[in-house]
Amino acid sequence: MVANLDALAKLLSDNDPDTVHLVKEQLMSLADANPLALEELTNSDDDVVAGHAREVLVEIQGQKAREDFQLLCHLGGEAFDLEQAAWCLARAINPGLCTYDHQVMLNEWGRQYLSGISRCLNNSDRVQLLSFQIANDLGFGGNSESYYCEQNSLLSSVIETRRGIPITLTLLYILIGARAAVKIEGINLPGHFIAKLGDVYFDPFNGCRILCKCDVEQILERQGLKLKDKHLQAASPRQFLMRMLANLLYVYDLDGELEKHGMVKGWMDALSAGASA
């Protein structure tokens, strides 16, 4: 450990909050040139020093994740990778989050789904097989009791809690299906988000119920709308992500979280600008 780092480590143990705050700022600057030095402090034998160092590391990771997501929104247009965008969003909201284990879970669930597809004769069978795996075997379902909460809009949290809202549950079906070469798409209906496989429409939030045309018409009637062809078009990655962000924006508005509200609003503005560029 370099002498300067030794001195900073001693100051991290100071009882004065202002001193600790200043040291943390110096560590953030130091980490740009020497990231391994900060990691060394996180392994300190002094629990106080290690704790403060970990807080600095998480803050740095959070800043990078937010910058990465902001850049994705600016440059993504319509063609970015929706899965990577979802992981990036989760890390931007929860600094220090590791999404690797969640991706491993999706890979395993995709392999399990693939192993049973040979028994399916049509798209309806494929939807029902995937629904049984996700809803019955894995226990995923709609979070009706706490619909408006941050966790419902973050893929990593949905995987942990097994609960989500229509759009994130649809995303889960899309990603598991993709790992088995089954193309499931999201349908961005006003007032509800559903999925389709070929000509089979289904509702991941409500037990993966297969939907007929009348069911879709009823969803739109609740919004005072009549079914048109445009309503059944597959959502682009940008439209998908924009709706996820809109859900988060509404949650932060309800909870009075002004800082997060402003951050998400900035991402939405960047995503809109990227689409028109």
Enumerate residue ranges in the chain where pLDDT < 50: 1-3
What is the pLDDT, as a whole number, of residue 45? 72
- 70, 241 in Cβ contact below 8 A? no
The whole-number pLDDT of residue 38 equals 67
Residues 6+ apart with CB under 8 A from 174: 82, 184, 185, 186, 195
Q: Which pLDDT value is given to residue 77?
A: 66
Q: Which amino acid is at 187?
A: I
For residue 164, give both structure tokens: 């989500």
| Cβ contact 69:267 at 8 Å | yes
What is the set of domains in the chain, with CATH numbers? Answer: 3-75 (1.25.10), 82-276 (no CATH)
What pLDDT shows up at residue 1?
42
CA distance linking residue 74 with residue 83, whole number of Å: 17
pLDDT at 32: 63
Q: What is the pLDDT of residue 197?
A: 97
Residue environment code for 88-101, b if the CB has 16+ CB neighbours within 10 A, otherwise e: bbbbbbbbebebee
For residue range 256-266, list pLDDT tens digits in order: 999 999 999 99
Query: What pLDDT score was predicted for residue 275?
Result: 61
Residue given tokens 């939405």 in the structure block: 268
pLDDT for 37: 64
What is the pLDDT, as a whole number, of residue 46? 73
